Structure 1
Amino acid sequence: MAKSLTQPEIDAFKARLCEVAERRFAEGGVASVSMRQLAEELGCSPMTPYRYFRDKEDILAAVRAAAFDRFADAMENAGTGIEDPIERARASGRAYLDFAFSQPNAYRLMFDMSQPDDGRYPELQRAGERARRTMGAHLEMLAERGQIHGDPQVLSYVVWAAVHGLVVLHLAGKLPESPDFRTIHGEMMRLLVQGMRTPPAPAGDTP
């Protein structure tokens, strides 16, 4: 009779499975990875992963949810103990870049175009929303203090889109050596901050 696993053993197996899946999905894409391949690398029966996940899309959703949680953890921890919202936002921004460049496989999978329907995966939906709220929290505080202008939620997406686009270009090797990433990032943030600090033009003044 097969030995029943304890809950810690089950959790450890699922974590290891997600770790292997993250690397293989990032290296070869979702279509190139099968449940059998994952089981072979883990040294278990091909049916074992099905005890805990419906299919590889279920595994991928779990991998992405875990990555979004680590991403949010990194940004939240970076701002811990910093009272000034501007300095907290800067620390969070540095944590964003550190995560993307230290865990590129996870970062690519988080934003892969072949995303599942989040509604089918509540944990993925929760983790993704948590990451978005973490990025927007500093802007909400700055807006409340009148230090920036505009809808903080809209601004959070604008900043996210800009930073994400630059990170993806860097990970894809599409940026030059000079000016380097830091120089381009610094100029981009200068323009974004300048824009957020500028009150919107009165209605009718826009050409």
Structure 2
Amino acid sequence: MTFARRQRSARGSGQQLRAEILSAAKELLARTGSVEAVSIREISKMVGVSAPSIYRHFADKDQLIEAVVAQVFEDLEAVMRAVGDPAASPMERLRQQGMAYVRFAIEHPEQYRLATTPGQTAGAVDLVLGSGAFTHFAAAVSECMAAGLFEPADPVPVVLELWASAHGIASLLIAKPYLPWGDLEAVADRVMRAACVGRVVIDNVLGDDATAEDLSQWVIEQRQHR
């Protein structure tokens, strides 16, 4: 996408120009798959403005990239909100949200890497992630607690544990695509289901102090009762 050469901006059109700059930067980042390939000069050509015009909206390239990543992750909030089936159980909705998160990360690998790499982006991106993905995970976890699936407590530690599972498999699928994963959807689904079921077993059967031996014995007993 290349924007036509712009005429002199009319009064009050600053927000429109900012949106066009972000759109061009987003497209360039998605097309090249590399933040190094994104330059103010190239974006100015795409939008049809001078580099100083871009600097009026963004202090430097880093601030522009952060705004682009934050904007992309605003879409994640809508995706996670849309996948929750009201007729499904709280546990199933939690699994669905985890899968939506993983799919989104795989579809936006460079943006996801930038958003989750220490020192790359902060501030706006963290706010978007915190208000979007975290909020939806927290709501689903709270519903699981209300339904007696998880031990009623502060949902934050449980949210972070499940978020870590979603982030872990998403990051590996992005960083190591050449490994023999098999069906990516099936792999991610097993990871998310294992994290959810593991939390149920710990909370309702074995307790936080359970050892690997306790878990092994419990599994053996369950098999014997089949």
**Same topology, TM > 0.5:** yes
Output one character per residue of 1:61-84: Cα deviation in whole Å (capped at 9) or x when no partner.
211221221111110122264463
Whether the 8 Å contact between 1:21 and 1:38 is mirrored in structure 2 is yes
Give the 5 Å matches for 1:1-207.
2-7=8-13, 10-25=14-29, 27=32, 29-79=34-84, 81-82=86-87, 84-118=89-123, 123-131=124-132, 132-149=134-151, 151-172=154-175, 173-178=177-182, 180-200=183-203
Larger radius of gyration: 2
Gaps of 5+ in 2: 1-6, 213-226
Partner SS for 2:150: coil
Normalising by structure 2, we get a TM-score of: 0.72
**Whole-angstrom distance in 2 between the partners of 1:95 and 1:47:** 39
Quote the RMSD (CA, aligned, Å): 3.0
Q: Which amino acid aligns with 1:20?
A: A
Shift of 1:47: 1.0
**Identical-pair percentage:** 26
Return closer, same or farther for 1:147/1:83 CA change in 2, 3 Å cut-off: same
Partner SS for 1:182: helix
Whether the 8 Å contact between 2:169 and 2:191 is mirrored in structure 1 is no
Gaps of 5+ in 1: none
Return closer, same or farther for 1:204/1:148 CA change in 2, 3 Å cut-off: closer
**Whole-angstrom distance in 2 between the partners of 1:138 and 1:163:** 14
Output one character per residue of 1:76-99: Cα deviation in whole Å (capped at 9) or x when no partner.
122264463223223323322332
**Whole-angstrom distance in 2 between the partners of 1:155 and 1:190:** 14
Output one character per residue of 1:103-128: Cα deviation in whole Å (capped at 9) or x when no partner.
3343333223442342xxxx434312
Stretch deviating more after TM superposition (90-99 or 38-47): 90-99
Q: Which amino acid aligns with 2:89?
A: D
Output one character per residue of 1:130-165: Cα deviation in whole Å (capped at 9) or x when no partner.
121222220121123221236421122222222222
Shift of 1:42: 2.2
Shift of 1:29: 4.2
Provide the aligned length of Structure 1 versus Structure 2.
Answer: 200
